[in-house]
Amino acid sequence: MATKVVSNLKEAIELAKVTDGMSISFHHHLRNGDHVLNMVMDELAAMGVKNLTVNASAVFDVHAPLIDHIKNGVVTKLCVNYMSKGIGTHICKGIMDTPVEFRSHGQRPADIENGRTPIDVAFIAAPTSDTMGNCTGKMGKSRFGSIGYAMADAMNAKTVIVITDNLVEYPLTCASITEDYVDYVVAVDEIGDPNGIMSGTTAQTRDPVRLRMAQTAVKCIEASGLLKDGMSFQTGAGGATMAAAMYLKDVMLEKGVVGSYIVGGISTASVDLQKAGCFRALQDVQSFDLGAAADLLENPNHIEVSGRRYSSSIGKSSCMNNLDVAMLGATEIDVDFNVNVHTDSNGIIMGGSGGHTDIAEICNMAVVIAPLFRNRLPIVLDHVTTVSTKGENIDVLITESGIAVNPRRQDLKEKFIAAGLNVKDIHELKAMAEKICGVPQPAPKGDKIVGEVFGHWGEHVDYIYSVPDKE
């Protein structure tokens, strides 16, 4: 019987002929438990390959060895959709000559496909694969659920290497990525650490501020007129947005409303809503917890979608086209409703757009939920440190002390006021926070460009600058 299994990672890399200057790719469904990026980069460094572009859907603190590979010239360019603070702190010191390119989850597959960021060799971390490379994230000891972000890599890279810790007999009957895209299969002991891959269960928040914001969010959905049969919904993994899902369930059951789908990162809270009959389907590009991953395997109405189908502008449509309501987070928002999710208030990279930019661009009502201030830092500023998502695409800001509506959405503002909601001007929310916190002094900014942010259509949105060393 034919097989694509090679004896080890080194052999696969040699067969793939990875050479200086190539572009290699990774996906981040193993999150902070991922072993694959590090094992591949260590192997490449040992082989003496230099000047690589690493295109990873996200990098986390577990990928700290990447910093040495950058300093040693093994890696000279990074393309990511998200970067955690442990890595971002080093990048902001200006260790790279080429700025990091930040894309959205939708624009990454588009640029891989259209040739702007072509991939030479894709490394697919697969919790289960057969001997010909049919693989999935839905089963195996390192299961993470949806493998959606890796699909563009598999379909477009010149060479595709599947790395698995659960090699099974051909054919795997529930493959997410199929053999027609795969060149080589490598079996290793562990592709990830289950403790870092996902939380077992996501505890419901008890924080009264978050709960209050969540209740307000559901009232806004009701007042908007969008709460009706066929409504679609996107929510993140944050405490307030998860709590909003819980309150939404109560209202939908009480009113007998059946929505069409929940899309995005899918959590156990989303699964509960679907199981309760509030939504007909779940469209899952990334499963946030084990409950969601288990449901993806068992539930025919819980479907796995690629990053392209999720939110890309390159397809003929995406899950975004029919999206009514989205709950989004923000590190900062400014009086023009521009949102920062890339850098903290000191300018240090600690995140990225993920789907934020795509969702806000297309969906009918994009709602940002954020407390008036966090750790003394007001959420509303005159100018955000980094523009991740342009203000023209954000419709509503919900804080515990009031709701601000983008002046572009007078229709929503009128509906909210008619429903008796606590609508305030965004400048008023800024003033309320400053009265409690004081006016923040701007953090010092370096003069080297260390990152560039691209938007939903691939357009330039903003630059990220180095951060000067502390005195």
Partner 1 sequence: MNKIIKMAQVGNVDQNADCVIVIEPSENGNEILLESLVKAQYGDAIIASAQDELKKYDITNAKLTITDRGAIDCVLRARLEAVIKRGMGV
**Contact footprint for partner 1 (CB under 8 A):** 345-346, 373-377, 436-438, 440-444
Q: List, in sequence order, the alpha helices (H) in 169-265.
A: 194-197, 208-224, 239-255
Measured from the CB of residue 434, what is the shortest distance to partner 1 in angstroms? 11
φ/ψ of 152, rounded to 5, equals -65, -40
393: Cβ contacts below 8 Å, ≥ 6 apart: 357, 360, 361, 366
Measured from the CB of residue 235, what is the shortest distance to partner 1 in angstroms? 24
Nearer to partner 1, 95 or 439 (CB): 439
Nearer to partner 1, 166 or 340 (CB): 340
Nearer to partner 1, 267 or 345 (CB): 345
**Residue 324 region, left (φ>0) first, then alpha (ψ -120 to 50), else beta?**
alpha
Measured from the CB of residue 374, what is the shortest distance to partner 1 in angstroms? 7
As a whole number of angstroms, the distance between CA 3 and CA 367 comes to 49
Measured from the CB of residue 458, what is the shortest distance to partner 1 in angstroms? 33
Nearer to partner 1, 225 or 438 (CB): 438
**Token pair 């953090």 in the structure block, residue:** 443
- Which of the 8 DSSP states describes residue 83? B
As a whole number of angstroms, the distance between CA 314 and CA 324 comes to 21
Measured from the CB of residue 438, what is the shortest distance to partner 1 in angstroms? 5
Nearer to partner 1, 458 or 468 (CB): 468
As a whole number of angstroms, the distance between CA 110 and CA 311 comes to 10
As a whole number of angstroms, the distance between CA 140 and CA 318 comes to 29
Measured from the CB of residue 379, what is the shortest distance to partner 1 in angstroms? 13
H/E stretch holding 286 reads strand 279-287
Measured from the CB of residue 443, what is the shortest distance to partner 1 in angstroms? 4
Nearer to partner 1, 71 or 376 (CB): 376
| The two structure tokens encoding residue 114 | 């259209």
Neighbours of 191 (CB within 10 A): 26
3-state secondary structure of 126: strand
State yes or no: cis peptide before 300, omega within 30 of 0. Answer: no
Nearer to partner 1, 246 or 377 (CB): 377
Measured from the CB of residue 373, what is the shortest distance to partner 1 in angstroms? 8
As a whole number of angstroms, the distance between CA 348 and CA 328 comes to 21
Nearer to partner 1, 64 or 437 (CB): 437
| 135 in Cβ contact with 176 (< 8 Å) | yes
